Structure 1
Amino acid sequence: MRGHEALRAAEVTVLDKPMMSRWLAPALACLAVSVLAGCTSEKGQGAGSSSAPGRDGTVALLLKENKTTRWEAFDRPYFTEKWKSLCPGCKLIYSNAEQDSAKQQAQAEAALTNGAKVLVITPVDSEAAVAIVARAKAQKVPVIAYDALIMNADIDYFVSFQNEKVGELQGQALLKKLTADGTADKGKVVWINGSPTDNNARQFKKGAHTALDGKVSVGREYDTPDWSPDKAQQEMEQAITALGKDNIVGVYAANDGTAGGAIAAMKSAGFATLPPVTGQDAELAAIQRIISGEQYMTVYKAIKPEAEAAAELAYALLKGERPSVPDVVNNGQKDVPARLLTSIAVTRDNIMDTVVKDGFYKLSDICAAQYASACAAAHLQ
C-alpha cells in the first residue's frame, strides 16, 4: 500500500512543529544557485541540507486498541510529552489499530511511507506483527516492541513489565484472600484470561498458574478474544450456568476490563456477596470497584516511566545510537535487549500509597459521587 491509499487506510495523526528558519533559508539559497546546485527545500534532502540526526526526524507510535483506558489516557500522552521534550523539531506519527491486526499493518505501512525512521509498536497480534517488523527492517527502520513482545521477529528493543510476575501477583493476591476467607478449598475459581493472540496474556496466564496450580480448583477457564469486557461477561455467565453461583469462590480476571465484565455477570445473576476478583491496569473504574468492595485487587503498572523509556530509546535509535539496557528477553528468534519494569498489587489497603501517591489519580476523582461514602468507610483521605 503506497501514497494516498496508505494514508487513507491508516488514519494517521502527525504532530510536528516546523520552524520558519528550517525551510526559508535553504529555499532562498536554492533559488540563488538553482542552476548550479539543483538543491531542494525539503528537510533532510539535497545538497546543503542542515539536517542532523537527533535534531529532526520521524518516529511512529502504533498502539493496539482503545477499549482499555490506559492506551489513550496514559500511554499516548506520556510518550508524546516525552518525545516532544527530547526532540522538539521531530515528528510523531500516531495510530491506534482498535484491536484490528490488518488495520495495524496498514498503519505501519503508511508510517513507513511517510518517513518514519523508528517504529514503536504495541502489537494487536504478537505473531502477525512479524510482517510489520520485516517491512521495517527492509527499509532499515528499527523497531521497539512496546508493552507486548513481538514473537519470532528481529526487533531491536522491548519495553514492558515483568509480565509473568504480574500474573504471579494476581494469583498470590487471590490465594491470600481465599485463604483468609477460608474458601480456598470450598469451591471453584473461574479463570478469565486475556486475548489468545497477545503474548502478554500468555505470560500473565503462566504466572497466575504458577501461583495457583495445586492450591485451588479451577471450575472453568477461558481465553477472552480482544480482551473484550462484553465477551468476559458472556464467559462468566456460562461459568455461572455450569457451576452454580454458590460454588464459585473466586475469579481470576486478567485485567480490569475482563474483571468488570465478570462482575457485571455476577451482579446480574444475583450473587448475594461477590467473590474476590483480580484485575490489572489500575483503571479508575477498577479502583472505585475496589473501594466499594466489588473487586478485590488490581495490578498497578507505572505507565509513565514505561512510555518515557520507550521514547528515550526511540530517540537514541533516531540518532544512530544503541544504548545498553538492563534486561534481555528471548522472543523465539533472538535475545532482545529489554527494559522491564516492576508492578505492584493494589488492594483497598494501599491505594493511597500507590496510585494516589504517584499522582496517577486524584483522591477527589476516585471518591467522586456515589463512591464518597465508600471512601469515607475505607478511611481514605
Structure 2
Amino acid sequence: MRARVFAVLALLLVSACSNGSSSSGDSGEKTIALFLPESKTTRYEAFDRPLFEAKVKSLCGDCKVIYSNADQDAAKQQQQVEAALTQGADALVLDAVDASAVAPLVNQAKQKDVPVVAYDRLISGITYEYYVSFNNVRVGEMQGQALLDALGKAGTTAKGQIVMINGAPTDPSSADYKKGAHNVLDGKVKVGREFDTPDWSPDKAQQEMEQSITALGRDQIVGVLSANDGMAGGAIAAMKRAGYSALPPITGQDAELAAVQRILTGEQYMTIYLDIRSEAEKAAELAVALVRGQKPDAPTQADNGSGKVPAFLLDPIAVTADKVKDTIVKDGFYKPAEICTAEVKAACTREGIQ
C-alpha cells in the first residue's frame, strides 16, 4: 500500500513538472540587449530608450532589457556588445556607432545563436534577422526639396550658394540622406561648401559653418542643408556670431524640442519628424518575437552589400512652422507647455498651439 502511494505521488510530481514547463513556453526570463550610439542627439535617451523599454515590458513581463549607450565610441560599443553576449543576452537590438565595422560583433552573436535587429542604421558586411529604420533617401529628398522651396519663395535660388552639412561618415544613414538631398539639389542650386561631420557634432558643424562664412562671404550664403537639428543649431550659432541680421533657411531632422522652437520663431526653416515611437516599438516587437522563437514577415528588404535583410522602413514627415500643430503636437511627441515657453509663446499663438 505504501509503495502504491509513493508511486502515485511520483506520477503526480512528474505530471506537475511537465505541466509547468509546457505552460511557460520557454526556459524562463529572456534578456534583450539594446545598444544606442550616442547621447549628443537628444532623441536616443529621451525617446528611443524609454519607448523601447516600455514596449518590451508591455509585451513580455518576463523579459529583461540590458541597455548601453556608446557615447559615439565604437570600441566602447564593442565592449558593451561582448559583455551582453557573455551575460547571456537572447537578442540584440543594435544601433551601431560605426555600422561598417560591427560585422564581427554580429558574427559573434550568430555563433551563439543570438538574433540581431539593426536599429536605425543599416549594418553592412553580414546578414542578420531584421533592419528597422526610416526611408533615409526620402529624408534627404525632403530636406533638399524644402530648402529649394524656401529659396524659391525668397527669390534667392540663383543669387548665391548653399552650404551642406552632412552627418557622420561612419553612419550609413548619412550617405542616404546626402544622396537624397543631391537627388533634388543638383543642377538647381550651387553648393559652395560641403562637409561630412564627424560624430554628428553640433560643435564641429559650428566650425564648418564658420569656415564657410569666411570662405564664401556672409552675403553669398543663401541656404544651409543640415542633416539634423543638432548640427543646425551649431550652424545657426555660427551665423549669429557672424552678425547675420536675418538667417537664411536651414533644414534639420529629429524634431528636437529646441529645433521645433527655432522653427516656430523663424530661426530654422524645417525639420524631419520621425515617428520614433513607431520605430522603437517595432524594434521591441521584433526582439520579443525573436526571443520567443518567432520570425514575423517583413514588408520589404534592404540591400546591405552582403545580402537582403528583412526590413521595416517607416515614412518621414517634413515639418515647417505651419505643420507643427498637426504633426508633432497632435501625436503627443511634445506637449504645448513644453514647446510654448515665454520666448515662443507668441509664435505658438500664431500657429494655434495652445
Q: TM-score normalised by the shorter chain: which range applies? A: over 0.9
Aligned match of 1:167? 140
Aligned match of 1:275? 248
1:165-314 aligned within 5 A: 165-314=138-287
How many angstroms apart in 1 are the aligned matches of 2:285 and 2:151?
42
Q: From 316, 326, 332, give the equivalent of 1:343.
A: 316
Aligned match of 1:59? 32
How many angstroms apart in 1 are the aligned matches of 2:46 and 2:64?
20
Deviation of 1:373 (Å): 2.4
Deviation of 1:138 (Å): 1.2
Deviation of 1:237 (Å): 0.2
CA contact (8 A) 2:325 2:351 kept: no
Q: From 119, 131, 135, give the equivalent of 2:108.
A: 135
Aligned residue type for 2:123: I
Aligned residue type for 1:339: F
Aligned match of 1:364? 337
How many angstroms apart in 1 are the aligned matches of 2:214 and 2:332?
41
CA contact (8 A) 1:325 1:338 kept: yes
- Structure 1 residue runs of 4 or more that deviate by more than 4 Å after TM superposition: 48-51
Aligned match of 1:108? 81
Deviation of 1:379 (Å): 4.2
Aligned residue type for 1:300: Y
Aligned residue type for 1:259: A
Aligned match of 2:67? 94
How many angstroms apart in 2 are the aligned matches of 1:125 and 1:327?
24
Query: Residues 20-50 of structure 1: CA distance to partner in whole angstroms, max 9, x if unpaired?
Result: xxxxxxxxxxxxx9xxxxxxxxxxxxxx798
Aligned match of 1:71? 44
Deviation of 1:376 (Å): 2.8
Aligned match of 2:293? 320
How many angstroms apart in 1 are the aligned matches of 2:27 and 2:233?
43
CA contact (8 A) 2:118 2:132 kept: yes
Deviation of 1:81 (Å): 0.3
Structure 2 residue 97 is the aligned partner of structure 1 residue 124: yes
CA contact (8 A) 1:228 1:257 kept: yes
How many angstroms apart in 1 are the aligned matches of 2:317 and 2:28?
37
In structure 2, runs of 5+ residues without a counterpart are 1-9, 11-20
CA contact (8 A) 2:157 2:189 kept: yes
How many angstroms apart in 2 are the aligned matches of 1:155 and 1:305?
21
User: Aligned residues: percent identity?
Assistant: 61
How many angstroms apart in 2 are the aligned matches of 1:331 and 1:310?
18
How many angstroms apart in 1 are the aligned matches of 2:256 and 2:25?
41
Deviation of 1:113 (Å): 0.6
CA contact (8 A) 1:54 1:319 kept: no
How many angstroms apart in 2 are the aligned matches of 1:369 and 1:103?
40
Secondary structure of the structure 1 residue equivalent to 2:344: helix
In structure 1, runs of 5+ residues without a counterpart are 1-32, 34-47
How many angstroms apart in 2 are the aligned matches of 1:333 and 1:132?
15
How many angstroms apart in 2 are the aligned matches of 1:49 and 1:362?
46
Report the TM-score when normalising by structure 1.
Answer: 0.86
Report the TM-score when normalising by structure 2.
Answer: 0.92
CA contact (8 A) 1:54 1:315 kept: no
Query: Residues 163-208 of structure 1: CA distance to partner in whole angstroms, max 9, x if unpaired?
Result: 0000000001000110111101100000000000000011000000
How many angstroms apart in 2 are the aligned matches of 1:54 and 1:179?
62
Aligned residue type for 1:257: G
Deviation of 1:52 (Å): 3.2
CA contact (8 A) 2:127 2:308 kept: no
Deviation of 1:153 (Å): 1.4
Deviation of 1:247 (Å): 0.3
Secondary structure of the structure 1 residue equivalent to 2:273: strand
Query: Residues 121-162 of structure 1: CA distance to partner in whole angstroms, max 9, x if unpaired?
Result: 000001111121011111111110001100111221000000
How many angstroms apart in 2 are the aligned matches of 1:324 and 1:56?
25
Query: Residues 57-85 of structure 1: CA distance to partner in whole angstroms, max 9, x if unpaired?
Result: 11100000011010000000000000001
1:32-51 aligned within 5 A: none
How many residues align structurally? Answer: 337
Alignment RMSD (CA, Å): 1.7
How many angstroms apart in 1 are the aligned matches of 2:351 and 2:274?
23
Aligned residue type for 2:303: N
Query: Residues 318-341 of structure 1: CA distance to partner in whole angstroms, max 9, x if unpaired?
Result: 111111010110000010000010
Aligned residue type for 2:156: T
